[in-house]
Amino acid sequence: MKRFTRLYGAGPLHAVLMLASFAIAGYVVSVVLGVSHAGWIGVWVAGAIVAHDLVLFPLYAAADRLLSRRGGSPRSPAVPWKNHVRAPVVLSGTLLLVTFPLVLRLSEPNYAKATGLHTSVYLNRWLLVTAAVFACSAVVYAARWIAYRGANRGTGAPMDTDNQ
């Protein structure tokens, strides 16, 4: 029992309740969506977990590690920029992940048949939303930089980066 708790992180009752919750949620989704083969939802979830843990996580962990490197200077920048890059990348990536069949025009025949519309506009819209999110982040960064300069004229002290 102690070994299970140490490996899993909680007691066996928690594991049983989590499995039951996933089973009920899968059943509800299959009924609501009208899926005839509910097992495919489990296959899709398992594939998403594997794709995330084996492909996506190492990629964005490596990208974050590259962002976190400090080039030569032991002092942190006056206004940390790291989260002003992270947030737009996460928002843009999540939007692409949710809409990639439309953005990449992979669902053109089905989408056109179901809605009477075409997917040709989605790439441009995703690019515009991505540009807007990065622009908003740049404006916030610039405002923080201006506020820092106004508050610390001539001192050169870096901002508190504990919450960054």
Write down the pLDDT at residue 114. Answer: 85
Query: In the block, which residue shows the tokens 């992940």?
Result: 97
16-49 residue pLDDT tens: 999 999 888 878 877 777 777 767 777 877 888 8
Residue pair 161/76 in contact by the 8 Å Cβ criterion: yes
Q: Supply angle C-alpha 6, 10, 11, rounded to 5.
A: 100
98-149 residue pLDDT tens: 888 889 988 888 888 888 888 889 999 999 999 999 999 999 999 999 998 8
- Could you give the dihedral angle defined by the CA atoms of residues 101, 132, 86 and 157, in that order, rounded to the nearest 10 degrees? 180
Position 68 pLDDT exceeds 60: yes
Going from N- to C-terminal start, the domains of the chain cover 77-159
pLDDT level of residue 161 (50, 70, 90 thresholds): low
Position 162 pLDDT exceeds 70: no
Write down the pLDDT at residue 1. Answer: 80
- The whole-angstrom separation of Cα 78 and Cα 142 is 12
Write down the pLDDT at residue 72. Answer: 46
Query: In the block, which residue shows the tokens 């992979």?
Result: 106
More confident residue, 14 or 158: 14
To the question of pTM greater than 0.75 for the whole model, the response is no
Write down the pLDDT at residue 7. Answer: 83
Q: Chain-centre distance of CA 45, in angstroms?
A: 17
Write down the pLDDT at residue 70. Answer: 59
Residue pair 141/78 in contact by the 8 Å Cβ criterion: no
Position 156 pLDDT exceeds 50: yes
Residue pair 87/139 in contact by the 8 Å Cβ criterion: no
Q: What share of the chain is helix, strand, coil (3-state, %, to 5)?
A: 75, 0, 25
Position 76 pLDDT exceeds 70: no
